A and B are shown apart, each in its own frame.
Chain A
Amino acid sequence: MQKFVENLLSDNIVYAPMKKEAKVFVSPINNFAEIDWTSELPANSFKSVFLPPEEILWKNAGKKFKTAFASKKTIALAMNVLDLQAFTLFEHVFEKDIYYQRRRQNTFVVGFTAGLPDDFRKYKIFHADYEENVLEHLIFDIFIEKQKNGNFIFFSGSEKGQKLLEENNVKDYEHIEFAGLVPESGMNPRLIANRKAVELSFNDKLWDELAEICLACGKCSVVCPTCFCFNLEDDPQLNGVERKRQWTSCFYPEFSKICGNKKELAEVKKKLYFWYYHKFVRIPEELSYYGCVSCMRCFNVCPVGINIAANLQRLAKNQQK
């Protein structure tokens, strides 16, 4: 295992969970010893590996446009199952996005689990069942499972992954074919229930109460592994103009601004509803898939302690009344 990872480190940029002070963060790493193999959920996600906070789409001077695609070989190592779910969503959302796809061609995705962490319950899995066949519905190149006896089991999820394993003399692995986003048994009932709870809830008092305390700072969407809203912005340089794609947040004031300075999402209540609606209604409608992987990172960073799981439960309860 150590040799495998050291081989990967030799000619790739590798991002992996790393213990820093009391928390685990996804960071670029240089040696095997830095990697945290406890399966503790990192405070940040792997999002920026696949969708950088800022990327240049093209440079322009006069009539000429120069398009630059990312080409550095990258490995997302030891991705937990929840971040793999978010990545699987991105694979579908950015299916036809040439910048994402070119980057993806140069990226290996290596999932990892050491079994469920003891405190897994604290993440209040309010929609995702940790099923036996969970890997069939995730996209990855390689997945590594650490068993209780300390042994590692390898899985491949793509031809690319198989090749990488073979090249590194890992011969004993099982291949798992991606079986689509929706399990054979149908959409997860909790996905349907959550959608129902949010869809027609705009007049629920909850949104007014949250709007009273929410600072609309947008930290939740920055840290969220499934938030992918972006802006296209022009950045004039001395020798031309760069068009950049940058992360944004539906909580930021410019998000819905149109001519005449009108903003559809002017009130915090509408921003909150828009954020939940995207995760629990729009994404399930488009892809029959999770828009929220219940990692609870938004709750962990929220300065006023807005708890997405508790809010979902309350909306569901109010809806039954």
Chain B
Amino acid sequence: MKNNYAYELARVIKVVRENPITNTLHLKLANQKRFQFLPGQFVQIGIPGFGECPIAISSAPQDAGKFICLTIRGVGELTKKLLTLKAGDIAFVHGPYGNGYPAVEKNLILIAGGCGFIPLVSVYENNKNRKDIKIQILMGCRNENLLLFRKKMQQAQMKHDLNLILEETLSKSFAAQKGLITDLLKKNKLLANATVFVCGPPAMYPAVVKKLLELKVAPADIYLTLEKRMHCGVGICQHCAVGTKYVCKDGPIFSYEYLRTLSEYQY
């Protein structure tokens, strides 16, 4: 029987500073060659003495045999400690966990708020070269300093319809508007016949979902990523329960078709 609470050792092979409070760790796992994951899945990363936390994988699934990336913003005791890891250090991980995003069969709209771009970048990388679908990205961020994956954003801006909106200031390096993510939804014509993946702070969801429903996007085409406190990762400890399901096991990605059946998600 597998011990779900045991770690695998991972080597930090590269650290990229995304912004003053966020790093991307490139990790090589002990079983890296056989490692597979779906965009949207996460791993638990920990440091003994500091506990562990779920972090979405931000690299492309195609690279899973070589490395994975975890993009971490230092907001708590553990995540701040994780920002001190350097190339050559050891990290402790187990996973992957969660359901991951469904396969993309229609046009794709990615709506990201702040750190919400982290799991979506893996979806983007996985689909960016497809000729059979169109991709549209709507991204909101507090200010330019907090942007993530600048290089990928520049490439995406050239290739796809990337729309950036900043809450506080305008950007020097990207064409951006000033306002909130919902303003982008008002101003831009959305791709028709599309699946919409939304990831961002919980406060963003009611406004975005209401707007999408107004724009006649079907609840079954809207997918939200939920964040909850998590301990076990395998649907036992109950911290991350949402309705009759668990964020760790059945999520973190849920269709709005399911969520709207629960009283707390009726927007």
Where the two chains meet, the residues of A that have a C-beta atom closer than 8 Å to any C-beta of B are 57-58, 60, 63, 65, 67, 93-94, 96-99, 101, 200, 202-203, 228-234, 236, 240-241, 243, 245, 250, 255-260, 262, 264, 274, 278, 281-282, 285-286
Contact = CB atoms under 8 A, between A and B. Distances in A.
Nearest 10 interchain pairs by C-beta? A241-B48, A285-B244, A202-B263, A60-B48, A229-B238, A241-B49, A259-B75, A98-B1, A232-B231, A236-B49
B239 A63 contact: no
Interface majority SS (helix, strand, loop, mixed), chain A:
mixed
A240 B47 CA distance: 12
Given A230-B231, A256-B228, A258-B228, A93 B236 contact: yes
11 contacts: A63-B90, A65-B7, A97-B236, A98-B2, A200-B263, A230-B237, A232-B51, A232-B231, A234-B50, A256-B228, A264-B228
Interface string B6-39: 1101000000000000000000000000000000
Contact of A98 (B4, B90, B232): B4
B173 interface: no
Interface residues of B, number: 33
A230 B75 contact: no
A119 B228 CA distance: 43
A232 B49 contact: no
A292 to B, nearest CB: 15
A260 B3 CA distance: 31
Contacts of A258: 227-229
B239 A233 contact: no
Given A67-B6, A101-B1, A285-B244, A255 B229 contact: yes
Interface in B234-252: 234, 236-239, 241, 243-244
* Most A-side CB within 10 Å, residue of B3, B90, B232, B263: B3
A255 B9 CA distance: 29
Contacts of B76: 259
Contacts of B264: 202
B5 interface: yes
